[in-house]
Amino acid sequence: MADTRLIHGRYRLLELIGRGGMGEVWAARDESLGRRVAVKCLKPLGPQPEQSFARVLRERFRREARVAAALQHRGVTVVHDLGEFEGALYLVMELLDGRNLSQLLEDGKGHPLPVPDVVDIAEQVSSALAYTHQQGIVHRDLKPANIMRLADGTVKILDFGIARLGADIGFTSRLTGTGIAMGTPHYMSPEQIGGASVDHRSDLYSLGCVLYELATGAPPFDLDDAWAILVGHRDTVPEPPRARRAELPVFFEEAVLDLLAKEPGARPPDARELVRRLAAGRGLPTAPAVLGATAPEPPRTRGLPSWARGMTTGHKATGSA
């Protein structure tokens, strides 16, 4: 699709603005309405996909895209259209003027964002998650690259519905048989790693990982080996953020550590509670830094799932692309 400049006689691809494991994102022009949009072109299904699988995938794509298009919140990217062209599925979305959080961290060469910015981003993302979770929608792939900060300071979450679609296209070992898992492990919840069913509390854990990195400059388990990262998520209590950056407010550190609880039931019950806690905490005086980290829980003896053995560390926000 990258070589085809006009999709269905309507969407003219102008400039490639992003490329990832699932496809490409283009700045485009909607010739019918005369406006600029973003077109996400997912990877083709393959030369000869099995017909029943392809049919199920297309229906799943339409369902997920319709769900995403029904979301109406200032913190969620607007989806305008969907379709299939020359064997590839595509989504048409609003074109955003800003930088994703991964880019912001890379711009700062790994230095954390200013504390007021981190707290503001935390509140905005929490508000958007509170809305989407209320609609019964779980993101499943929340990470800095999927959160955009616009030029006016508005924060938006990208790619609702795309994470599950990626699993269907074949980015899991269940479908590919390759042992390659779903991208970077730096933001995966323990229940995702263990192969258990996930709900909105998995998004909260991933948000905790994102906020930890924004606040300290590194994710909670900043290791080079994917297996060690997964074990860290599952078994190790993270170092308190204020042990790395003393100026962080106590209320923020407490919220992040609660988000990073190993058991879903130990995390905040929902994102609305997180919004309330962050709003209540703003303006409180900062207490002295806690320099001692909590002692790690003893390692568990059970093994990680087989797909994790072939997993690479992927791309974290402060790493190389």
CA contacts within 13 A on the Cβ side of 132: 32
Q: Is the CB of residue 239 less than 8 Å from the CB of residue 256? A: no
Structure tokens, 193 = 């790693």
Which residues are CB-contacts of 261 (< 8 A; sequence separation ≥ 6)?
205, 267
- Give the C-alpha separation, 260 to 256, whole Å: 6
- Give the C-alpha separation, 200 to 134, whole Å: 9
As annotated, the active-site residues are: 141
- Give the C-alpha separation, 218 to 187, whole Å: 12
User: Smallest Cα–Cα separation from 111: which of 260, 227, 30, 217?
Assistant: 217
User: Smallest Cα–Cα separation from 126: which of 242, 285, 259?
Assistant: 259
Which residues are CB-contacts of 34 (< 8 A; sequence separation ≥ 6)?
none
Report DSSP state, residue 238. P
Between helix 200-216 and helix 250-259 the angle, nearest 10°, is 140
- Give the C-alpha separation, 94 to 211, whole Å: 25
